Amino acid sequence: MRVSYIYLTIKKILFIKKQRTMKTIGKFLLCMACMALLANCAKDPTEPAVKDGSKMDIYGSYSFIVDYRVTDNTLSDKTVLFDGINGVQRKWLGSGENELLGMFNVEITFLCFIKPGELCGEFCNMKGTFQAQDGSTLIFDIAAGEVIMNTDENCNTYQTCFNNPAIIKGGTGKFAGATGYFLPQAFIHNGQDQFYADFFNRGYLSTRSYPIHEENEF
């Protein structure tokens, strides 16, 4: 009887130790899970998961990263009266390539109020259309903006620039119903030899399936 009692006592002690060990392991795993969750929540929600023109961010919006060059294709410098101010209707054409659009063309029109012989001034009604490789189009506009002197390190190449926010307003094909916004980051070369503008668009694009999250900023 004493041997049986000792055996049962030892078995009970081992069972209690096993339970305590399992509880300790469970607490450790729970702690690790909480730390992983906190680390994930600490990430900047405005940061795209992959920074290129075709990957979605953590909310499902595409990071809109599109670079291209345009040249002036204005046919006439005839002035147009707008709100009592004379301006010239400008037309820029360009092209580029990225994963989102493939090989694309872009057309930009706007009313320019820069006076002859000057480099800086205001513009309005800027409307742009990207035509993607598959034929889809993506439309954006800038209601009003201003071309200013470029004071960055690249001012020898680009004398002026503008960076007024652009709004994406739908399109056709895969961009039908698309919304979004971006900063154009346009740098203009006003050399006597030639004129061109390089755009480095950065922002967000949403299709009807993936609305832009309100915390996304650019």
What DSSP line would sit under 5-54, residue for residue?
Answer: HHHHHHHHHHHHHHHHHHHHHHHHHHHHHHHHHHHHHTS-TTS-SS-STT
More confident residue, 75 or 25: 75
| Domain identity same for 26 and 120 | no
- Give pLDDT tens digits for 153-210: 999 999 999 999 999 999 999 999 999 999 999 999 998 778 999 999 999 999 764 4
| Domain identity same for 76 and 32 | no
Cα distance between the two ends of the chain: 80
Number of domains in the chain: 2
Whether pLDDT at 83 is above 80: no
**Mean confidence (pLDDT) of the chain:** 78
| Domain identity same for 27 and 76 | no
| Domain identity same for 79 and 187 | yes
Q: Is 212 inside any structural domain? A: no
| Domain identity same for 118 and 199 | yes
Tokens representing 17? 């130790």
| Domain identity same for 38 and 66 | no
Query: In this structure, are residues 12 and 20 in contact, taking their beta carbons and an 8 Å threshold?
Result: no
Q: Is 50 inside any structural domain? A: no
Q: Is 211 inside any structural domain? A: no
- 155 DSSP assignment: T
Local confidence band at 76 (pLDDT 50, 70, 90 cut-offs): confident
Give me the domain span that covers residue 68: 62-206
- Alpha helices, DSSP H only, in 133-195? none
Nearest Cα residue to 212 out of 52, 56, 41:
56
Q: Is 17 inside any structural domain? A: yes
